[in-house]
Structure 1
Amino acid sequence: MDTHHPHGIRVAIADPCPMSRAGLTSWFLQEPDIQVVAEADTADSLQAIIQAYSPDIVFLTFGLDSFPCMELLEFILRNSSAPKVLLVAPRGMNLSLKARSFGAHGFIFNNESRELFVAAVRNLAERNVEYWMSDNTRKIVNKASVELNSARLTAMEKKVFAFICYNNHTIAEKLFLSEGTVRNHISSIYLRLNVKNRNEAIQLARRFGILHEMTRSEPTIEEFFEWT
């Protein structure tokens, strides 16, 4: 055990699904050097347990409440005593680059093995790693990057593709384009990526890790939290 964690590595699990939380907790309880100090199913309960239990590591699952995940991640890490945060996401949702840019310490897909989740805890707690991913996760992320690059989208097509979950009018407003130009870009994107409709394009953008997810407008996360 690392000398910096004489009482075990303190872990908190933030996931909206009770079964997922119970599963992770069960996995970690099998390890003598890992202690699950608390579980959270909402953004406000996560804030409370970070303050109350000071975990070393938080497993943050994408989709906690309806807050944008990256905004929540950024908010957690503002605190000077913030824990290390490892983002957990479904297999088809590549958030590795976004998570890293917002300050996460690692990324893992939720279908990885118990051994890899345990390895994530120990690597983050005991080693000076800048950003942790399992070899399997890294392979999936790298493969998606190669596929995106091979499509040879133009710079503007990539911007449009990133906002593909929005309607054409909204995309046009965000990128200062006409709706006709947006439609032309989308047609080209479909052709280059061999997709048939918007739903397929959205799923592909998620897998490539470039999708700008829709965000809620009210309340802001600062209004929701009272971080003391």
Structure 2
Amino acid sequence: MIKVYLAEDQQLLNTALAGILDLEDDLTVCGTATDGQTAWAEIQVCQPDVVLLDIEMPQLTGLDVAEKIQAAQLPLKVIILTTFAQPAYFKRAIGAEVAAYLLKDGPSDALIQAIHNVMIGQTIYAPELVVGLTQQVQNPLSERELAVLTAIAAGLSSKAVAQKLFLSDGTVRNYVSTILSKLDATNRIEAIQIARHHGWLN
């Protein structure tokens, strides 16, 4: 019997998936959670064979949990389920050595097959996600521009950014102007969103 733990922040989907998996003769759901912190705590107690993790969850994301599982060297397989075909997420998933990275809109039969496949040592990445990675846009920002944008994304004012990076206020304004131009953004918030979407900001 394969023990499965399911973490998905949408309660309806969580319940539906758990019900589908429990119908399989050789699968049993040993627990569910709608936030990453609860999932991480219960996974250590439940000791499942396979963990299904959504990425966007409160407290800890699915990728946070996957990295904790890797760091603790728990003997289990991690399958990431996501609606986000973002290169930065995929790179983190690979770094956490997840067994599978799948899109949520796939058929339940494919998910069940993926669970069986990872249990025999296979690694599965949804083709759409691999395509998304190969089509990743090159970061146009210099190292200094990226440092300025990262500081702004952390909530620092222009003056605080200048102090942190040992720049004048005018130089920071010039950097911001260049960043907006390079990213074709109308304001700082949009620039941050664009950079995060492409995985240029952590």
TM-score (ref. length: structure 2) = 0.74
State the distance in 2 between where 1:137 and 1:125 align: 22
**Does structure 1 residue 192 correspond to structure 2 residue 182?**
yes
Q: Choose which of 2, 14, 20 in structure 1 pairs with 2:7.
A: 14
Q: 1:187 to 1:42 in 2, by over 3 A?
A: same
Instruction: Give, in whole Å, the separation in 2 of the partners of 1:36 and 1:55.
Output: 9
Aligned to 2:117: 123
- 2:132 alignment partner AA: I
Cα contact 2:37–2:59 (8 A) shared by 1? no
Taking the TM superposition and a 5 Å limit, the aligned residue runs for 1:121-160 are 121-129=115-123, 132-143=124-135, 145=136, 147=137, 149=138, 152-160=140-148
Aligned length: 199
Give, in whole Å, the separation in 1 of the partners of 2:188 and 2:85: 16
The amino acid that maps onto 1:142 is T
Which residue of structure 1 lines up, in the alignment, with residue 165 of structure 2?
A: 176
8 Å Cα contact 2:103/2:126 also seen in 1: no
State the alpha-carbon separation in 2 of the partners of residues 18 and 122 from structure 1. Answer: 25
* 2:196 matches 1:206: yes
TM-score by length of 1: 0.67
Give how far 1:85 is off.
2.1
Unaligned 5+ segments in structure 1 are 1-6, 213-228
**Which is higher, the Rg of structure 1 or of structure 2?**
2
What one-letter code is carried by the residue in structure 1 that aligns with 2:76? P
Pairing partner for 1:75 from 68, 79, 83: 68
CA separation in 1, counterparts of 2:120 and 2:12? Answer: 28
Amino acid at match of 1:176: L
- Kept in 1: contact 2:9–2:35 (CA 8 A): yes
Output the amino acid matched with 2:142: T
How well do the aligned residues superpose, as a CA RMSD in angstroms? 3.4
CA shift for structure 1 position 121: 2.3
Distance 1:191 1:200 in 2: 12
% identical aligned pairs: 22
Q: Deviations over 1:159-214 (max 9, x none)?
A: 445566323438838973535444433332322222223343333333323332xx
